[in-house]
Structure 1
Amino acid sequence: MPMPDFAAPDPSALPLRLVTPEGLDGALADLPETARGWAVAQGFNAGAGAVLPLPDATGGLWGALVGLGDDKARARGRFVAGGAASKLPEGTYALDAATDPDLARETALGWLLESYRFDRYAKQAAPKARLVSPKGVDAERLRAIAAGEVLTRDLINTPASDMGPAELQAAAAALAERFGARMAVTTGEELLARNLPLIHAVGRAAAADRAPRLIDMRWGESGPTLTLVGKGVCFDTGGLNLKPGSSMGLMKKDMGGAATVLGLAQMIMALGLKLRLRVLIPAVENSVSADAFRPGDILASRKGLSVEVNNTDAEGRLVLADALAMGAEESPDLMISMATLTGAARVAVGPDLAPFYTDADADAAAISRGAAKAADPVWRMPFHAPYEAMIEPGIADLDNAPSGGMAGSITAALFLRRFAEPTRYAHFDIYGWNPKPAPARPKGGVGMGARALLEAMPDLLGLE
């Protein structure tokens, strides 16, 4: 489908008014007589997501009302007004100039995101209602954010049959070419020669055309340094600790961390942020064959730490470990990893929140502020030092899957921090999937945390 965009400015655009229950009487009083009578006759009550097209005196379309709901409903939902894009009749609409600027921005972004359809395999009808970019809203920025989110969603939604390590590499290469970034790829046995043994171990059981690899993209010539590391497990069988079928069904999304950092990278490059960006993606398929790594194996890592494998289904932290160690060698100003890493995170916070870890209170505050502004909710989790002993098995330096099943997201984050040290570091344990349709977020792949980080970049890296 075409990239979601705003309509061109149009003086004849249809009025679109966002209404709360407490403001309903005033909103109705401002309508033309025919439209007001219709709204009253229809019993419009401005409930969250309610949409009412309004007639003019000739029976044509005058405009529309969109309900925002009461305070409780607004606290429970995001992009409520943006969701109207799929409910309104065809036409070009313009928000009332008096719309609150923050609400106008969220509505405009929500409108673009609501227009997304994954139509690679079957035609999907896109909304025919278009929105003029509201006055005072940075349309270029919202377009860049929406385009980055589209990239993330498309990558996650594509099944592993068409999104293996080679295809993920091709997607990164296309992005690099578009923005003039440089890219290098280390593949197969070369991983061992380049001292990336954990990436090789996890991916070596896959077919030859799905060989493991490390994708390394760089962009920018000046400014602070930012390294993004994304888990690119293009399909996860669980390895020899084979997942049951019910758990394997969504594993096309196990490269959601890679998809999210590529989407964020696209936003950063499209907006021309003054920084030096590096993106590292260990891309593998965790398969089963005679060459698969085994429970009980002790593996070497790039950093020199030995790792006992107690579960081959805890492979994401293994491939990230080598990539984080490589990233830390250049001492970037900030390194961030994003990964669909643990089921424990989903048990803790569900599918809608992106839990994140950082030792820096100022960074946590900046990310939380960015999340609130971007309608991209996050939740800080602790690097709880007393749990360090849980990832130290004695027979090796580290354990990839401590027994007991407690604090699974925290112990995974602590494992990753060992390889990121001493770099300033944040880790996001995302889900990357929206299980139920919601305004601006259809069922399927979804970015989590990227918009929050983009909003936080000025505070995180001192950008102007």
Structure 2
Amino acid sequence: MSSTASPARNPGFAADDAKAIPLHVIEADALESWLGAQPEALRGWVRAAGFKASLGASLLVPGEGGRIDMALAGYGDAAARARGRFHLAAVAAVLPEGSYRLTGLPPARAEEEALGWLLASYAFDRYQDQKGATARLVAPGAVDAARLEAIAAAEMLTRDLINTPANDMGPDTLEAATADLADAFGATLEVTRGDDLIAANFPLIHAVGRASDRAPRLLDMRWGDAGPQLTLVGKGVCFDTGGLNLKPGSSMGLMKKDMGGAATVLGLARMIMALGLPLRLRVLIPAVENAVSANAMRPGDILTARNGKTIEINNTDAEGRLLLADALSLGAEEAPDLMISMATLTGAARVAVGPDLAPYYADDARLVSAIEAGAARVADPVWRMPFHAPYEAMIEPGIADLDNAPSGGFAGSITAALFLRRFAGGTRYAHFDIYGWNPSAAPARPKGGVGMGARALLEALPEALGL
């Protein structure tokens, strides 16, 4: 990334050598059996320490000269593990610096736990010195180490982008981060800025961003020259005041994360390019600041989108769907094999599923099957929401083709998704209404910006696109 943003992070596994400390992963009901095969001194040490192999517990076992001879990691039971993910990341966070080699971990859990260990090393340290886990893991033999390292690096890019405050992450900085990513992987980037958006027929992007002194822009990145075409569209509102429908202070505090959709599609794009997936990738990011000024769009205005549909603006704080409408219209003009939008779009989605699930909308059975299976395999939980056709009338105000903020307060995430589908042009399409923020620390996921749904999509793409 550029000097105006956080440096690129390259998490990696430790070298496999004789100095790596054995880390025994022990389920609670297997502890006594494991102890029975150990020397009496070790059994005494474990029992004296009160180690019960509960989930996330750890114990260092000293050897000669005070060195660490081995470490134990509690793995609890199936019921405890079902209530979370990345359990060994909690152990990584408390182990002293060094290299560790896992023993006893079920192979089926190796990929999830190895990735969690990599992610545990993340800390957002741009403004204050701090560290994530310093214990490094020797990659378990059952995993593709290079793949996991690429995924972790992409997730850390997403986190850095979201965590950076708006004074250091405006539309120009988001453009710079996208340009750096394009340069790193041989992609091309075309940018349309300011009043050029009008001439290029992106009226909604211009209308949302024109009130800011940081010019709105559309970022259009392309990579790959063969295979099916995948178009990713990410909402890039670098700060959202709500516009003339000004947000209260309590709702504005986290609005640096309103570019979480853009940050997440850039993370997914980095995974795709780093892993060399055989497809043609296009990334569209409308990058703006929704500000307040004399030339801001007004409630009651009627705007015309790129595809010719008219939209009544009944709330200037429902701006994300306007940006995405122009970008989706552009994407649909090429009829890609799959188009996906990701956005921190509605509070209604969070009320419905909370901050840990990524709700998504899709009607294509093959795509849904691929997403559901992929999410389960890589511990990236999603929840399918309905494109409920009877609610279409709720987004039709009568005075224009569409209403950007239907009154009544019902089904806010669904009506937003239905609105967006009007601009997908019949393309095979999925929409993710993500939160992009972890409100409290969890293993491998510190409080702050977080990617949602990207790993599930990466896992789904081979089946969804026939790669």
Q: Could you say which TM-score interval applies, normalised by the shorter chain?
A: over 0.9
Mapped partners of 2:131, 2:254: distance in 1? 24
Alignment counterpart, residue 53 of structure 2, candidates 18, 24, 46: 46
Q: What amino acid is the match of 1:187? A: R
Conserved in 2, the CA contact under 8 Å of 1:34 and 1:56? no
Counterpart position of 1:90? 97
1:300-449 counterparts in 2 under 5 A? 300-449=304-453
Counterpart position of 2:11? 4
User: Tell me, what secondary structure is at the counterpart of 1:52?
Assistant: strand
Alignment counterpart, residue 150 of structure 1, candidates 156, 164, 169: 156
Asked if 1:165 is matched to 2:148, the reply is: no
Mapped partners of 1:398, 1:372: distance in 2? 36
Conserved in 2, the CA contact under 8 Å of 1:34 and 1:55? no
Alignment counterpart, residue 258 of structure 2, candidates 230, 254, 258: 254
Mapped partners of 1:30, 1:108: distance in 2? 27
Counterpart position of 2:63? 56
Q: How far does residue 60 in structure 1 lie from its aligned partner after superposition?
A: 2.6
Mapped partners of 1:197, 1:401: distance in 2? 18
Counterpart position of 1:14? 21
Asked if 1:277 is matched to 2:281, the reply is: yes
Q: How far does residue 129 in structure 1 lie from its aligned partner after superposition?
A: 1.1
Asked if 1:175 is matched to 2:204, the reply is: no
Greater mean alpha carbon deviation, residues 106-115 or residues 42-51: 42-51
Counterpart position of 2:4? none
Counterpart position of 1:137? 143
Among all aligned residue pairs of Structure 1 and Structure 2, give the percentage whose two residues are the same amino acid.
71
Mapped partners of 2:39, 2:228: distance in 1? 54
Alignment counterpart, residue 462 of structure 1, candidates 456, 463, 466: 466
Greater mean alpha carbon deviation, residues 66-75 or residues 399-408: 66-75
Mapped partners of 2:207, 2:151: distance in 1? 36
Conserved in 1, the CA contact under 8 Å of 2:120 and 2:132? no
Q: How far does residue 30 in structure 1 lie from its aligned partner after superposition?
A: 3.7
Mapped partners of 2:111, 2:37: distance in 1? 23
The normalised TM-score by structure 1 is 0.97
Q: How far does residue 93 in structure 1 lie from its aligned partner after superposition?
A: 0.4
Q: How far does residue 101 in structure 1 lie from its aligned partner after superposition?
A: 1.8
Greater mean alpha carbon deviation, residues 57-66 or residues 301-310: 57-66
Q: How far does residue 57 in structure 1 lie from its aligned partner after superposition?
A: 5.4
Q: How far does residue 33 in structure 1 lie from its aligned partner after superposition?
A: 3.7
Q: Which runs of 5+ in 1 are unaligned?
A: none
Q: What amino acid is the match of 1:108? A: A
Conserved in 1, the CA contact under 8 Å of 2:122 and 2:131? no
Pair 1:31–1:400, CA change in 2 (3 A): farther
Conserved in 2, the CA contact under 8 Å of 1:20 and 1:70? yes
Greater mean alpha carbon deviation, residues 15-24 or residues 345-354: 15-24
Q: How far does residue 68 in structure 1 lie from its aligned partner after superposition?
A: 1.9
Asked if 1:222 is matched to 2:229, the reply is: no
Offset from partner CA, 1:325-354 (integer Å, 9 cap, x none): 000000000000000000000000000000
Greater mean alpha carbon deviation, residues 192-201 or residues 117-126: 117-126
User: Tell me, what secondary structure is at the counterpart of 1:420?
Assistant: coil
Mapped partners of 1:261, 1:461: distance in 2? 17
Q: What amino acid is the match of 1:258? A: A
Residues matched between the structures, number:
460
Q: How far does residue 22 in structure 1 lie from its aligned partner after superposition?
A: 1.4
Asked if 1:29 is matched to 2:36, the reply is: yes
Q: How far does residue 35 in structure 1 lie from its aligned partner after superposition?
A: 2.9
Conserved in 2, the CA contact under 8 Å of 1:35 and 1:62? no
Q: How far does residue 55 in structure 1 lie from its aligned partner after superposition?
A: 2.0
Conserved in 2, the CA contact under 8 Å of 1:310 and 1:401? yes
Mapped partners of 1:30, 1:133: distance in 2? 26
Counterpart position of 1:201? 207
Greater mean alpha carbon deviation, residues 119-128 or residues 324-333: 119-128
Mapped partners of 1:34, 1:87: distance in 2? 24
Conserved in 2, the CA contact under 8 Å of 1:229 and 1:323? yes
Mapped partners of 2:94, 2:296: distance in 1? 50
Counterpart position of 2:247? 243
Mapped partners of 2:42, 2:327: distance in 1? 60
Q: How far does residue 36 in structure 1 lie from its aligned partner after superposition?
A: 2.6
User: Tell me, what secondary structure is at the counterpart of 1:64?
Assistant: strand
Mapped partners of 2:40, 2:15: distance in 1? 29
Counterpart position of 1:292? 296
Conserved in 1, the CA contact under 8 Å of 2:163 and 2:256? yes
Mapped partners of 2:245, 2:20: distance in 1? 58
Mapped partners of 2:39, 2:24: distance in 1? 13
Q: How far does residue 32 in structure 1 lie from its aligned partner after superposition?
A: 4.2
User: Tell me, what secondary structure is at the counterpart of 1:63?
Assistant: strand
The normalised TM-score by structure 2 is 0.97
User: Tell me, what secondary structure is at the counterpart of 1:419?
Assistant: coil
Q: What amino acid is the match of 2:19? A: S
Greater mean alpha carbon deviation, residues 407-416 or residues 20-29: 20-29
Mapped partners of 2:285, 2:235: distance in 1? 6
Q: How far does residue 238 in structure 1 lie from its aligned partner after superposition?
A: 0.3
Counterpart position of 1:452? 456
Mapped partners of 2:17, 2:65: distance in 1? 21
1:63-74 counterparts in 2 under 5 A? 63-74=70-81
Q: What amino acid is the match of 1:188? A: G
Q: What amino acid is the match of 1:382? A: P
Conserved in 2, the CA contact under 8 Å of 1:95 and 1:104? no
User: Tell me, what secondary structure is at the counterpart of 2:289?
Assistant: strand
Q: What amino acid is the match of 1:150? A: M
Conserved in 2, the CA contact under 8 Å of 1:213 and 1:282? yes
User: Tell me, what secondary structure is at the counterpart of 1:81?
Assistant: helix
Counterpart position of 1:105? 111
Mapped partners of 1:164, 1:410: distance in 2? 29
